[in-house]
Structure formats: structure tokens, C-alpha cells
Structure 1
Amino acid sequence: MSSYTHVIVGLDLSSESKQIMEKAKFLAESSNAKLSVAHIIEPLLFTYGGDIPMDISSIQDQIHTQAKIDLQKIGDEFGIEQENQHISIGQPATELHELAAKEKADLIIVGSHGRHGLSLILGSTSNSVLHGSHCDVLAVRVNQG
């Protein structure tokens, strides 16, 4: 079995991100692979369906600015250069697939919360990433709590 050459980690920048990054860094170092991180911001118009009768672009800009700060902290902690830190706006699975193709990544790592019941039926980001990917996908089970 060949080792990976470029690993992209999709993070939601929650408190569980560090758990995911620790496993991703170990795997990337074991394979001597390049390690990149990505955060996808879902547009507020997707979230609220355009039902907000106001200009929300400044809020979206604030979300982007904070995400950039948070992603840079993670990058600094795990030794990931700025050019390997990616933020985009869109649907997370689609954006991760496009980034993986553009960067020629051969593994995408995402966190999984192990949802049950209705959440499982409706799907999750990790499930969406898995089913549309052209490279390997690893879902890291995060410990909540």
C-alpha cells in the first residue's frame, strides 16, 4: 500500500478541531505527506434561505475574519504554513472536493460526531464528503465533552 502525499483536513473550528488535527498530523507525518487545513463557511443566505430582509454582508465578513484568525491559530499550533490554510465560502462537501482536486490531495480528513436518530437520517458533512470524493476520506470520531 502506498502512503499519502497530501492530506487536507476539513475543520469546523469547534472545540473538537484539536482532536482531529492531532490525528491528522500523526497520519501526515507517518506518510511524510503535506498537511493542509480548510474551513468552509456556509453563506448565511444558504442557512436562512434569503428570508432576512437586510444586508448581511458585513456579518458574513466578520465570520470570515474570525475564521481566518481561528484557522491561523490552528495552523500555528500544528506547524501548517499560511499557504496551506484554506478558507472558502460554499457547501462544505463540495468545497472540500474541489480543494482536494485542485491541490491534488489524496486524503481528506473530517470530524464525525457519531450522530444518531434524525441527525443520522438527514446526513452530515462527513457523510457528504465521503460520498462525493474522488480520494480517500477518513472520518475521525470526536469525543464530545
Structure 2
Amino acid sequence: MSDYKNILLALDLTEDAEQVITRALSISQGEGSTLHMIHVVEPISFAYGGDIPMDFSTIQDDIQQQAKQQLSALGLRHNIPAEQQHIVLGRPETEIHNVAEELNADVIVIGSHGRHGLALLLGSTANSVLHGAKCDVLAVRVGTTN
């Protein structure tokens, strides 16, 4: 059991999500604990810097709808109610911090690929969440390591 009552589980909806969910569920077993899930969809314009004169709104809507369906399926599989599932548009680290503050989260659980070398210098979402969070952050190592 843990002392964490408000847990925010940040997911990227990859195949590694199950490993991160399992860890979050293990710390949310205490009486009165609430587990929320969040997935942040980055605006397509972030990837292209707004330099391409195209309307991406339909594609962006499709991406958000697909993410909502995936998060909903995970919530259903792990008994996490729809009102505790959050799909947000924006920069992942910023939106995870915002939702954690709104929920008064005690801990953020996030997957980390344990990058090394240049990838580590460039940073990662988990690293950005860790350094800006006002609560504890549990980085769950996922993926293969060499």
C-alpha cells in the first residue's frame, strides 16, 4: 500500500503502456486512492512549426478521436472510469503538470525509455515532467535496454 491518494498516470498509448499501468495500479490499491489517466496529443502544427500552409484540423480531430478510443479501451480493461480519463491537446510536459495541479496529484506515474547519450541530452517527456512537477514522479523504465 502507498500513501498516494491522487495518482496521475501519464500514457503515450504505445505497447509499453501496460507496464506503466500495472505499476500505477499497484500504488493505487490503498483505500481512498483515485487513479486518473492522461494522454496528451501534440498539435500537428508543433511538428511542422506552422510552416506548411495546410489545414490539419481534420487530421488532428482523427488523431484525438483515436487516442480517446485507445484510452477508453485501457480504462475499460483496468476499471478506470471515463471521468478519470483525460485527453488533452498541447505539449505533454506542460499539460501533464497542469492536470496534476488541477487534480492535486500526489504522484505522476510515467514511462521512461531510459535514454542514453545524445538522446538523454536532448531530453524526454519523462525528464521534463520530473523537473517541472510539484509532486512526486515515478518514472517506470519501459522498453528494451542494452
Flag whether TM exceeds 0.5 (same fold): yes
Does structure 1 conserve the Cα–Cα contact (< 8 Å) formed by 2:5 and 2:30?
A: no
Per the TM alignment, residue 32 of structure 1 is displaced from its structure 2 partner at its CA by 4.7
State the alpha-carbon separation in 1 of the partners of residues 143 and 45 from structure 2.
Answer: 31
After the TM superposition, list the runs of 4 or more consecutive aligned residues in structure 1 that deviate by more than 6 angstroms.
none
Residue of structure 1 equivalent to 2:42: 42
Residue of structure 1 equivalent to 2:93: 93
Task: Please state whether the residue corresponding to 1:114 is helix, strand or coil.
Answer: coil
Residue of structure 1 equivalent to 2:129: 129
State the TM-score, normalizing by the size of structure 1: 0.95
The unaligned stretches of length 5 or more in structure 2 are: none
Does structure 1 conserve the Cα–Cα contact (< 8 Å) formed by 2:97 and 2:132?
A: yes
Give the letter aligned to residue 13 of structure 2.
Answer: L
Pairs within 5 Å for 1:1-145: 3-30=3-30, 32-144=32-144
Does structure 1 conserve the Cα–Cα contact (< 8 Å) formed by 2:5 and 2:106?
A: yes
Task: Please state whether the residue corresponding to 2:28 is helix, strand or coil.
Answer: helix
Aligned length: 144
Does structure 2 conserve the Cα–Cα contact (< 8 Å) formed by 1:4 and 1:31?
A: no
The unaligned stretches of length 5 or more in structure 1 are: none
State the alpha-carbon separation in 2 of the partners of residues 33 and 15 from structure 1.
Answer: 26
Does structure 1 conserve the Cα–Cα contact (< 8 Å) formed by 2:109 and 2:137?
A: yes
State the TM-score, normalizing by the size of structure 2: 0.94
Map Cα deviations across residues 11-31 of structure 1 (whole Å, 9 max, x no partner).
000000000001110111146
Does structure 2 conserve the Cα–Cα contact (< 8 Å) formed by 1:38 and 1:87?
A: yes
Map Cα deviations across residues 95-139 of structure 1 (whole Å, 9 max, x no partner).
011101111111001000011111100000000001111010010
RMSD: 1.4
Identity of aligned residues (%): 49
State the alpha-carbon separation in 2 of the partners of residues 31 and 118 from structure 1.
Answer: 43
State the alpha-carbon separation in 2 of the partners of residues 89 and 64 from structure 1.
Answer: 8
CA distance 1:111–1:80, change in 2 (3 Å): same
Per the TM alignment, residue 33 of structure 1 is displaced from its structure 2 partner at its CA by 1.4
